Structure 1
């Protein structure tokens, strides 16, 4: 297994990794410091070289193909009771995050950083047209797939858990209420939802706050579902969904909200994004951007995630974002960092996905199931143990456009008190 064994012996400093090679031989790495106990088996000798040269995307592809499985040599629990299957994957990713600084200062790391920086803007080039192709790759999958693991309103972004043990449905309602409070809405205002998904937030804002909402998406499937929901709720006169790139819109709008879309803009388009947001706002308008980010300096999207899940996607550092809000001469009137909320959200999604795994396999196949397991658990651990976060950034053209204290954000925000269901929320849900 050399040179893979040499790499692993250097990498695993905390916890213990037991590897069963393709011949069934046992190799144990680490154990110097306490940490997760993990065991996996390699079923193909080619993986020795693949995992050494390109662990990303090699590890994810091996898991998808079934040539790397977690647990002992027989596929069951490992030699010390280590978990198998998806739980084994979760433990491995926890082990990875615990040891992720093992190669800091290593010459290979600097080489890899330079290489990723060189291709960063190329992989995130998302002009009009190309952006729609990237969106279709992920969001034009079967609606039923998303219904099998999301909440009933099809909210596909970080929920807001007001207390331990709160349901995913209630936590997603909290998120919608919190965003509405930050928008400081008034009846009759024109609101733009950039990246509206299946329409849940737009419908909620129109129904609860008596505003007129235009939602835009590049997903054909999401647009179809959103329009159906608006018609079913009798809100077609207050909510309009467009299959259109936000860059092709004309304003003005009193409020703009964008949830889970900024990750798909691409670093080379940040200046364009904020300039467009500014041009679409009324002079006293305001916007809220909700996005995944990172607490570390700028980096790049992993090759596996970029290839199989989110082509063109990237989670920015705040330093990358502020540069362009400043260039656009926009006031950043508030920033809130959500830390473990997305880890909880992703854990709930992964559990629901596992409970419906048989149906997912019927819709697609076993390789697809393993791909989505890897995606959901990998992202969960990035928020639970890694450097991922969610930020909500409030923007305005005029410094006096919004109240000067945060009180208004919580006065009417039931999520701050951990509110549960609401009859109007239920009506929106039933249209899903």
Structure 2
């Protein structure tokens, strides 16, 4: 049976929770409800209340923690840390100044962490029963690099995992519910810590010191250049969020764009931004599932949405791509993936992104190849997402008092842990960001080199009415055709 609190990160490669909500959290729209049978499935040391632990069980938990931490410390002597338990006992591992400290204020917090890995750790932290001091980064780095290959999964969890896999479905109804869970928290919340364009995906940093606004604008422009956007072309953005990419593409490249999202709140704000930009004739925002769309488009793009599709629906998702992207057209898929495919960590799946699945590059390549979606270029933006999450967390912490007034302290702890653990998973784990450029069948619309993608500075925020980026070697008219957004989905 796994016996280290360090399992809370490493287990992300193997485990998936039942999406459930805790009774004590009923009425809060931002956390999943747990059913009693989840607690019933925990070992006695994790489910019993304070004061019911036997001395033998408590001693066993302490020995397990000490042994595993000692092993981790021996493998990484450069990182010293401390552990404090509810009974006042203090333990120091490693030499020198401690990089971080963990404090378990209840036996329950330690028991659940041992039994449920990151899920138990995250719930303990959200409840205020686990405190972290010092460097979160060093904590996660040590957790992800510790040699825990000998840790076995408990039998009760393996049964739960099997049941969860059987129920893994992202139907249209459940997909809408999962998206609302995360993206309908309120536009005001996201405005506090995203950049001014409300781009909720990895930015592109030319230097580590690049500001978030600039890095996000560079990412949008990089995508447009890879797609070789030209005035008058039609663009479909699946999972458009608050519309940052379709607005950028229409404003600076003269395309006619359709963006779809499952979040009503996102759509409302995106439409208002389109109106303010005076682009109603070139940009349309719809609340729609990708499976509900029709028509053909010159270009297809999806940024940060495919992670929500679910393993069972990936074939259907790529069928959609072949149906919506015209033959020979270019598409770009920007998504979080892994070296080995799998569900995200159990805590994040339960509280942040229910229904998520992170595919591997190999898995994506096979699915695309079977549909004659031909890969042109692949870029791994892993370090860029770590930097993006750092910037988001800095802004989040700058507004933490306001966020706590909007929600509560538990919500603040939940999102802090999400931002911190996600950054660590990109820096030290096997989480990746793939940006895949492809064509629908044979195509000669791609440039010979990548030079045009990176060579020049991105456009300013002012609308571009004259020169626009073009595919190298091809001359196209500059003036964009003015066509109504209502015609975007018509077949060419």
> In structure 2, do the counterparts of structure 1 residues 114 and 325 end up closer, same or farther at CA, with 3 Å as the change threshold?
farther
Report the number of matched residues: 400
Shift of 1:90: 3.1
Q: How high is the TM-score relative to the length of structure 1? A: 0.87
> In structure 2, do the counterparts of structure 1 residues 119 and 323 end up closer, same or farther at CA, with 3 Å as the change threshold?
farther
Q: For 2:369 and 2:156, how far apart are their aligned partners in 1?
A: 30
Shift of 1:16: 2.8
Give a deviation string over 1:100-135, Cα, whole Å, max 9, x none. xx122x260597996687356446421111100000
Q: Which of 22, 25, 28 matches 2:92?
A: 28
- Identify unmatched segments of 5+ residues in structure 1: 72-82, 426-432
> In structure 2, do the counterparts of structure 1 residues 107 and 162 end up closer, same or farther at CA, with 3 Å as the change threshold?
closer
Q: Which of 142, 148, 152 matches 1:103?
A: 148
Q: For 2:380 and 2:98, how far apart are their aligned partners in 1?
A: 28
Q: How high is the TM-score relative to the length of structure 2? A: 0.77
Find the structure with the greater CA-based Rg.
2
- Summarize the alignment of residues 301-320 of structure 1 with structure 2, pairs less than 5 Å apart: 301-320=344-363
Asked if residue 387 in structure 1 is aligned to residue 430 in structure 2, the reply is: yes
Residue range with higher mean Cα deviation, 369-378 or 115-124: 115-124
State whether residues 252 and 459 of structure 2, in contact with CA within 8 Å, keep that contact through their aligned partners in structure 1: no
Corresponding residue for 1:170?
214
1:213 alignment partner, SS class: strand
- Summarize the alignment of residues 318-333 of structure 1 with structure 2, pairs less than 5 Å apart: 318-333=361-376
Q: Which of 211, 235, 255 matches 2:255?
A: 211
Give a deviation string over 1:398-424, Cα, whole Å, max 9, x none. 3224235234xx42x4x5556585433
Asked if residue 9 in structure 1 is aligned to residue 70 in structure 2, the reply is: yes
Corresponding residue for 2:462?
423
Q: For 1:316 and 1:112, how far apart are their aligned partners in 2?
A: 26
Shift of 1:370: 0.6
Q: For 2:381 and 2:462, how far apart are their aligned partners in 1?
A: 27
Q: For 1:418 and 1:382, how far apart are their aligned partners in 2?
A: 31
Which runs of 4 or more aligned residues in structure 1 lie more than 4 Å from their structure 2 counterparts after TM superposition? 109-117, 119-124, 415-421
> In structure 2, do the counterparts of structure 1 residues 316 and 111 end up closer, same or farther at CA, with 3 Å as the change threshold?
farther
Corresponding residue for 1:276?
320
| Aligned-residue RMSD, C-alpha | 2.3
Q: For 2:64 and 2:208, how far apart are their aligned partners in 1?
A: 45
Corresponding residue for 1:429?
none
Asked if residue 44 in structure 1 is aligned to residue 89 in structure 2, the reply is: no
Q: Which of 42, 54, 61 matches 2:116?
A: 54
Q: For 1:135 and 1:239, how far apart are their aligned partners in 2?
A: 22
Corresponding residue for 2:41?
none
Q: Which of 125, 128, 143 matches 1:66?
A: 128
Give a deviation string over 1:4-62, Cα, whole Å, max 9, x none. 33333334431233111001111234x28x99732111111122321211122011111
Q: For 2:246 and 2:295, how far apart are their aligned partners in 1?
A: 17
> In structure 2, do the counterparts of structure 1 residues 98 and 420 end up closer, same or farther at CA, with 3 Å as the change threshold?
farther
Q: For 2:363 and 2:239, how far apart are their aligned partners in 1?
A: 21
Q: For 1:286 and 1:64, how far apart are their aligned partners in 2?
A: 44
State whether residues 80 and 98 of structure 2, in contact with CA within 8 Å, keep that contact through their aligned partners in structure 1: yes
1:423 alignment partner, SS class: coil
State whether residues 254 and 281 of structure 1, in contact with CA within 8 Å, keep that contact through their aligned partners in structure 2: yes
State whether residues 305 and 375 of structure 1, in contact with CA within 8 Å, keep that contact through their aligned partners in structure 2: yes
Asked if residue 93 in structure 1 is aligned to residue 140 in structure 2, the reply is: yes
- Summarize the alignment of residues 393-412 of structure 1 with structure 2, pairs less than 5 Å apart: 393-403=436-446, 405-407=448-450, 410-411=451-452
